[in-house]
Structure 1
Amino acid sequence: MRFGVLGPLAVWDGEGREVRVPEAKVRALLADLLADDGGPVSADRLIHDLWGDAPPGRPTGALQAKVSQLRRAIGRDRVVRQPPGYRLRFDDGGDEVDAVRFRALVTRARPVQDPRARAALLTEALELWRGPAYADFADAPFVRAAAQRLAEQRLSVLEEQAQARLEAGDHALLAGELADLVALHPLRERLVGVRMRALYATGRQSEALASYEDLRARLAEELGIDPSPELAALHGAVLRQEPGLSAEPYGYGYEYEYGYRASTQASTVNTAPTPPATHGVNTAPTPPATHAVNTAPTTTAPPSHSNLPAPLTPLVGRRQALADLSQLLANARLVTLTGPGGVGKTRLAVAAATAERDGEQAGELADGTWLVEFSGIRA
């Protein structure tokens, strides 16, 4: 049986079928027990967590009734009485909590030297997230600390994944994706630092410097402090255009913008925010929804015949463009994306390539699916 807290509370049986846990207070009881990582929780605390300052007339009996309901849902042997209260018991042979698996994958990833392999493990960990931790109990005090702790761990892993992808040479795609994360977390110095390096490596020195200045101004205004010495040193290195900041990409070098093998047949996709050409496809992004976006990546780790990076955020507003690209690729061996810088050509190209790699025609891609990145040229 698997228990999910990285998103709305969920339980699945050994076949992957969702197990229904009825009634709000029974679900709250399960969440409370999971928040303590299977450790015992006192009956008094459980009663307070479930009913607050308005407990029922016979609180102990009411709690026992909820425990019985939970046992019927997930198995009698999984909720055990242990003074001064109750705890969950997990079967070592098959039971799993997604938060525990998340931490285990991160622990496995950290010593891995190959940045692409490290990024793949971190991506696998991040893919376990289905939304904010304990999402359906966001206002419950008894899970607040656990949810905040997990949210901070997830953000740290996103930073580690970005660093691994930077080392692997995913500069162009990474610079664009990190813009969204930095906007959500503008005071995270590590995120800003990775984005500065990615921007510099793609020839966007002025944007890298502007990113630093934005952080410096925010820190001064909101916290009254300066950026860390490490980030200040990075800023100086960008100013001096130190060559070590734009190291060659890890492994094969693959160009992002124009992509794939030349052929006698080609099609063009215009990604600029202008009306489409007669045979082109206008893939300008539509404004995303204003609610929170789940940034958990949705792609799997790249196979041996691909270096496609896993995205940090989902692709928003490009469904029709992807469908048009798929149709073009079915009839043309070369598709060129055109448009001004920053409109999302790279991201769209990677999404289309990933769809081709993982789709029904994947067997026809005998040479694999690759990205090619060009470095910026400086005088």
Structure 2
Amino acid sequence: MRFGVLGPLELWNAEGRLVRVPEVKVRTLLAALLVHHGEVVPAGRLIDDLWGESGYTVRPASSLQAKVSQLRRALDGAEPGARSLVAHQPPGYSLEVPADALDSGRFRDLVTRARQAGNPAEKAALLTEGLALWRGTAFADFADQPFARTAAAALEEERLVAVEEYAEARLELGEHSALVGELTVWIERFPLREGLRAVHMRALYRAGRPSEALDSYTDLRRRLDEELGLRPGPVLDALQQAVLRHDPALAARAHAEGPAR
């Protein structure tokens, strides 16, 4: 059984068939167990997650047990014996599956392997594979729920760091021209992200577009001032000065630009 949280919640059996989990509360229960993967989630917390502090049913413990039973039936119907994945352990329940059964676990493994890679080509390939697992916003259908908000935000931060590391690897490979367009899309989504801006500016500079690199810095500075009352950090300031003086350290490495990945 495999579970997907890097986007809308999804579930696949061993044959790769999408498994339907009926009823919103049952899907919420599965999402809450996945948020706390590897932990026993107290029954009281699960009741809060499903019904809210002011929305209890008359018999909340019995209602929770009914939803657990429904989830177990859905799992068992997709893969015989899978009902045992939802384990009762005082004071609550846990989902007992290995980390690589979650797309988030596989993503983290690929990122770790990329950071241990011996060359930028291997690093870029591993990060490409990891980022391809994303189907949208983490826990997309529960991102506005209090129980999922922190976990979703943490995964999104990991994703953005991986994108920045992927871009750095592509720059080392000399793929700056192809990279500019990809990073522009990310910056449109996260315009205040300084790490993205830095690699975007360097890609533009190496692609022979220094004025656009400076424009990117100016846009960030304006947005930070208008939206947060802040200014770019010292790394971005130093990069802007390096672009202005055409610092040789910004030049591409001495090899041909490779194909876009």
Same fold (TM > 0.5): yes
Tell me the secondary structure at the aligned position of residue 163 of structure 1.
helix
In the alignment, the residues of structure 1 paired with residue 129 and residue 182 of structure 2 have an alpha-carbon distance, to the nearest angstrom, of 18
**Structure number with bigger Rg:** 1
More helix by share: 2
Q: 1:22 deviation in Å?
A: 1.4
In the alignment, the residues of structure 1 paired with residue 228 and residue 136 of structure 2 have an alpha-carbon distance, to the nearest angstrom, of 29
Q: Give the residue type in structure 2 aligned to 1:86.
A: Y
- Superposed CA deviations along residues 313-334 of structure 1, whole A, max 9, x for unmatched, are xxxxxxxxxxxxxxxxxxxxxx
Instruction: Answer yes or no: is the 8 Å Cα contact 2:37–2:94 preserved in 1.
Output: no
1:81 aligned to which of 83, 88, 97: 88
In the alignment, the residues of structure 2 paired with residue 237 and residue 91 of structure 1 have an alpha-carbon distance, to the nearest angstrom, of 47
1:166 aligned to which of 162, 171, 179: 171
Instruction: Answer yes or no: is the 8 Å Cα contact 1:105–1:121 preserved in 2.
Output: yes
- Aligned sequence identity (%): 58
Aligned to 1:321: none
Q: 1:107 deviation in Å?
A: 0.8
In the alignment, the residues of structure 1 paired with residue 9 and residue 230 of structure 2 have an alpha-carbon distance, to the nearest angstrom, of 39
Structure 2: where are the runs of 5+ without partners?
A: 76-81
Q: 1:249 deviation in Å?
A: 5.5
Instruction: Answer yes or no: is the 8 Å Cα contact 1:170–1:249 preserved in 2.
Output: no
1:109 aligns with 2:114: yes
Aligned to 1:373: none
Tell me the secondary structure at the aligned position of residue 81 of structure 1.
strand
Tell me the secondary structure at the aligned position of residue 87 of structure 1.
strand
Aligned to 2:127: 122
In the alignment, the residues of structure 1 paired with residue 241 and residue 144 of structure 2 have an alpha-carbon distance, to the nearest angstrom, of 44
Instruction: Answer yes or no: is the 8 Å Cα contact 1:167–1:249 preserved in 2.
Output: no
Aligned to 1:155: 160
Aligned to 1:309: 260
Q: How does 1:344-363 map to 2 (within 5 A)?
A: none
Q: 1:222 deviation in Å?
A: 2.6
Moved more, 240-249 or 10-19: 240-249
Q: Give the residue type in structure 2 aligned to 1:50.
A: L
Q: Give the residue type in structure 2 aligned to 1:28.
A: T
In the alignment, the residues of structure 1 paired with residue 242 and residue 189 of structure 2 have an alpha-carbon distance, to the nearest angstrom, of 26
1:216 aligned to which of 214, 221, 246: 221
Aligned to 2:250: 245
Q: 1:5 deviation in Å?
A: 0.6
Tell me the secondary structure at the aligned position of residue 112 of structure 1.
coil
Instruction: Answer yes or no: is the 8 Å Cα contact 2:172–2:253 preserved in 1.
Output: no
Instruction: Answer yes or no: is the 8 Å Cα contact 2:179–2:260 preserved in 1.
Output: no
Instruction: Answer yes or no: is the 8 Å Cα contact 1:168–1:249 preserved in 2.
Output: no
Q: How does 1:299-378 map to 2 (within 5 A)?
A: 307-310=258-261
1:201 aligns with 2:152: no
In the alignment, the residues of structure 1 paired with residue 184 and residue 156 of structure 2 have an alpha-carbon distance, to the nearest angstrom, of 19
Higher RCO, 1 vs 2 (CA within 8 Å, ≥6 residues apart): 2
Indicate how the Cα distance of structure 1 residues 113 and 32 shifts in structure 2: closer, same or farther if over 3 A, else same: same
2:232 aligned to which of 224, 227, 235: 227
Aligned to 2:51: 51
**Structure 1 moving runs of 4+ over 4 Å:** none
Q: 1:76 deviation in Å?
A: 2.1
Aligned to 1:66: 67
Aligned to 1:143: 148
Structure 1: where are the runs of 5+ without partners?
A: 255-306, 311-379
Q: Give the residue type in structure 1 aligned to 2:178.
A: L
Question: How many residues in Structure 1 have an aligned counterpart in Structure 2?
Answer: 254
Q: 1:220 deviation in Å?
A: 2.6
Q: 1:224 deviation in Å?
A: 2.8
- Superposed CA deviations along residues 186-240 of structure 1, whole A, max 9, x for unmatched, are 2111111111111111111111111112212222333333322222111111111
- Superposed CA deviations along residues 250-274 of structure 1, whole A, max 9, x for unmatched, are 5xx25xxxxxxxxxxxxxxxxxxxx
Tell me the secondary structure at the aligned position of residue 22 of structure 2.
coil
